[in-house]
Structure 1
């Protein structure tokens, strides 16, 4: 990213922070993909909160971004699912960083969901709310019996639509690049897209535009009907669809392929996901069944007697191999995260919430001032 682009992002987030600065700044913990453009967003969060720690998603840490954040005096702590899987460990961590304070948890993927009830009840300070960025995380919080604090989700915001569309494009780009690196191409094979949400539909449309035969599977009958209306083949039999798939792209945010599903893939099929392998693929069940070997950079062959397939980027989000860049459009929903933090800080009832429409309109107008050039 060029210096002038970095400066524009910083100026944009300074203006967003000034617009949505809460009366009383809370403490905050930020889970994020630490990509090259991300320091400007992190500084925007730090302008409206006492940012206790940045917790980078493990498979998406850019070295220069890490150095930029640490040079600004901010703390970076390691992140894994186990950190917040049990209340005792989560409480120990939160107490070590923010004992007795009002805390907002900024999440990507529902990391805090497993222990949210317990830490809200037992933390020495006050967990005043959560902001969630992804559909996967939205579902994790939605599935809790009762939310003990307000959870503001931006996952289904219209400001996230441009990001979701462009992420779908980047997933196809990266999958195709890895296949071409082995001398394989998209054309001539059927692509199976599992999950027809905003990401899956974007992936399916781009593959179709490239002349690839696309089959869609989704557990939601409404989405299956939408896919059919847009001209895609919708599989009645998921097992049969797997047997015909030369490329499988998983975009559900939940388990798309279980261990027994991989055996239905034809020889030479490629499998890729839009998120972490732990969320989309049940790979542990393959350890004793398949021999694994690296056949090209970021391409692993799974081989057993009479059967083999290829897994891209170890089952993690394939687009992160090429930066996962969606340009300045991601700054729309990042600004909405900051707006949600103000909503939480100013007081909100426990439950699932969205940022008010006037706030989204103000964000879009500000974004257009900076980036519609």
Structure 2
């Protein structure tokens, strides 16, 4: 299998990658059941899949399930800092999946790898941030000649897809895996909350208790981050542009301030909005000495990095792995984590495997549905098929040993009748 076309750092890391993948699999019992079902039923036989995803052990287990179902897969990274080189090697050498990903590659290589996986002329696209779909539509539309659909698993990617659909340029049916209840509740809220703080603490070794943590954005990801920061003893301030979300934060007991008032008192400032220029030059100029900046939105545009570079009077230096210090003209030091990219993947390992178990099980079942139902679908952004989310949640409860009540026939009749 090592003869597969691939571009990874070192195939000699494969056995270390296998150990990492198998460790993650222990916490992914639902996906294991999906894997076994796919291996028996082969719902993806003959399907070529192009994926742009974080090259992690959890992703490897998703791709193993799809491969077991008959899919031929080519994988590129969705973030240069999140690639686990040992996992990439294991995917190629042990699991028969073509991988084009190396940790820390430059932007040109990143873009080239996206084109390479598209050159496999895939039937299905799996995306994380809409980069793969965007490149296919903008640069190489001819490579979509055999594509029938795909999935998108991030908030940022779904936003981009909806814009493409509104403007009439989206050529494929794309399922918004991100918009399921399990994805938003567990992946975005619990996963992002824990893994973001994990990245911050690994990069800084800083105490969270007693510090002022500013969370920019109070969607599902921001809510989870705020909850976990408060649980560790931080004073949490929320910034928002949406009145409803801001009111929600107030009702949950958080202080809500505009960014120009929050930035000067932040010990740690984390953006998690999915938008650009959330922390701008005027906010950077007001940060206190030693303030830590991090981003947990998908792209590195939430913090105005060019302005930070321009304001710095000294060459940035790495004070710790994934922690770069910028010195301003008045001597203040600002610490930027993971180059302003996703801190939970750039400075840590992303979401726990138990969280990704649900998200990737939903994605796997949706891919199988697409493989069978694509002929009746129109281009646009689609919801995950009815029942998939509930099925995965039920399997997860079963794996946890949790039992719940069931509706009686009388209750079902009552809920489905308009008569008292």
The answer, yes or no, to whether TM exceeds 0.5 is: yes
The equivalent residue for 2:359 is 333
Contact 2:210 2:233 in 1 (8 A): no
> Is 1:150 matched up with 2:173?
yes
Q: Secondary structure at the match of 1:136?
A: helix
Change (3 A) 1:96 1:34: closer
The equivalent residue for 1:315 is 340
Q: Give the gaps of 5 or more residues in structure 1.
A: none
**Could you report, residue by residue, the CA deviation over 1:27-60 in whole angstroms, capped at 9, with x for unpaired residues?**
1111222223432211112234533411123211
Structure 2 counterpart of 1:14, from 20, 32, 35:
35
The equivalent residue for 2:369 is 343
Show the 5 A alignment for 1:277-288: 278-288=300-310
Change (3 A) 1:75 1:4: closer
The equivalent residue for 2:10 is none
Give the structure-2-normalised TM-score.
0.77
The equivalent residue for 1:40 is 61
The equivalent residue for 1:364 is 393
The equivalent residue for 1:219 is 241
Contact 1:257 1:282 in 2 (8 A): yes
Contact 1:20 1:339 in 2 (8 A): no
The equivalent residue for 1:264 is 286
C-alpha distance in 2 between matches for 1:197 and 1:76: 33
The equivalent residue for 1:203 is 225
The equivalent residue for 2:83 is 61
Contact 2:215 2:272 in 1 (8 A): yes
C-alpha distance in 1 between matches for 2:25 and 2:254: 40
The equivalent residue for 1:126 is 146
Please provide the CA RMSD for this pair: 3.0
**Could you report, residue by residue, the CA deviation over 1:58-117 in whole angstroms, capped at 9, with x for unpaired residues?**
2112233112211222211248776897xxx7996466322xxx6111001111343454
The equivalent residue for 2:411 is none
Contact 2:216 2:272 in 1 (8 A): yes
Contact 1:120 1:149 in 2 (8 A): no
> Is 1:114 matched up with 2:143?
no
Change (3 A) 1:185 1:279: same
Q: Secondary structure at the match of 1:225?
A: helix
**Could you report, residue by residue, the CA deviation over 1:164-191 in whole angstroms, capped at 9, with x for unpaired residues?**
2132122123323443x3xx53344321
> Is 1:175 matched up with 2:200?
yes
C-alpha distance in 1 between matches for 2:219 and 2:285: 26
**Structure 1 residue 121: deviation in Å?**
5.5
C-alpha distance in 2 between matches for 1:293 and 1:311: 10
Q: Which has the higher strand share?
A: 1
Structure 2 counterpart of 1:163, from 172, 181, 187:
187
Contact 1:107 1:132 in 2 (8 A): yes
> Is 1:305 matched up with 2:329?
yes
> Is 1:355 matched up with 2:384?
yes
The equivalent residue for 2:99 is 76
Change (3 A) 1:315 1:372: farther
Q: Give the gaps of 5 or more residues in structure 2.
A: 1-19, 403-420
Contact 2:208 2:234 in 1 (8 A): yes
The equivalent residue for 2:13 is none
**Structure 1 residue 265: deviation in Å?**
1.3
**Structure 1 residue 270: deviation in Å?**
0.7
C-alpha distance in 1 between matches for 2:90 and 2:261: 49
**Structure 1 residue 5: deviation in Å?**
6.4
C-alpha distance in 1 between matches for 2:197 and 2:220: 14
Contact 1:20 1:342 in 2 (8 A): no
How many matched pairs?
A: 363
C-alpha distance in 1 between matches for 2:41 and 2:171: 24
Contact 1:91 1:119 in 2 (8 A): no
